[in-house]
Copies of this chain bind each other. A is one copy, B any other.
Amino acid sequence: MEQFPEVVVCRLGHRPGRDDRMTTHVGLTARALGADRVIFPDNATDAVETAEDITDRFGGPFFAELVEKPAAVVRNWEGPIAHLTMYGEPVQTVESEIRSTVTEGDDPLLVVVGAEKVPFEMYEQADWNVAVTNQPHSEIAGLAVFLDRLFDGDELDREWVDASRRVVPKETGKLVLPVSEE
């Protein structure tokens, strides 16, 4: 997002087959709702391909990458870290502190999205453990609400660069237009 330090989403853990669509949706949600980059475990090849394909067609900038050990990315991160977990502090009580910490600094924010088993170190390494409700639901839903609140809705007005097509909002039906190259 413009006028905001870089926001990077890191997905911990991925079980090929079982998690394919969940991990892919984490990546697409990160892109659509204003994150700059997503980091997947290196066995999530489908997810990175889908994120790249959607970025090619619908625009960016957005980057998806595979890393061998997402936990090491978290451990070595030099900026602030928000870890999304149902056990954390309510998003509505910490969102303004996170937003002001990030916007008053230059360091990129890492948003950690858990998988089945999150090691205890993750809770300690995070600057904020953030809960979008303390109820069990979906890491995709949690990420979506977190990003929408982090950017205060500005991500919904984002403009996309280098798209080959764009969806034109309509009251009824579907309209997709090619984006002509200038």
A interface list, Cβ under 8 A from B? 18, 21-22, 25, 28-29, 31-33, 54, 58, 86-92, 120, 123-124, 126, 129, 131-138, 140-145, 148-149, 153, 155-158, 160, 166-176
Inter-chain pairs besides A18-B21, A33-B133, A87-B169, 8 sampled, C-beta below 8 Å = A22-B25, A32-B137, A58-B136, A92-B153, A92-B157, A138-B144, A140-B140, A148-B149
CB distance from A137 to the nearest CB of B (A): 4
Indicate if the CB atoms of B174 and A28 lie closer than 8 Å. no
Chain B residues in 8 Å Cβ range of A129: 170-172
Indicate if the CB atoms of B89 and A171 lie closer than 8 Å. yes
Residue of B nearest to A134 (CB): B167
Q: List 18 A-B residue pairs with CB atoms under 8 Å apart, sorted by A's residue number.
A: A28-B137, A29-B141, A31-B135, A31-B137, A32-B135, A32-B137, A32-B141, A54-B136, A87-B167, A88-B171, A92-B153, A126-B172, A134-B169, A138-B144, A140-B141, A140-B144, A145-B148, A148-B149
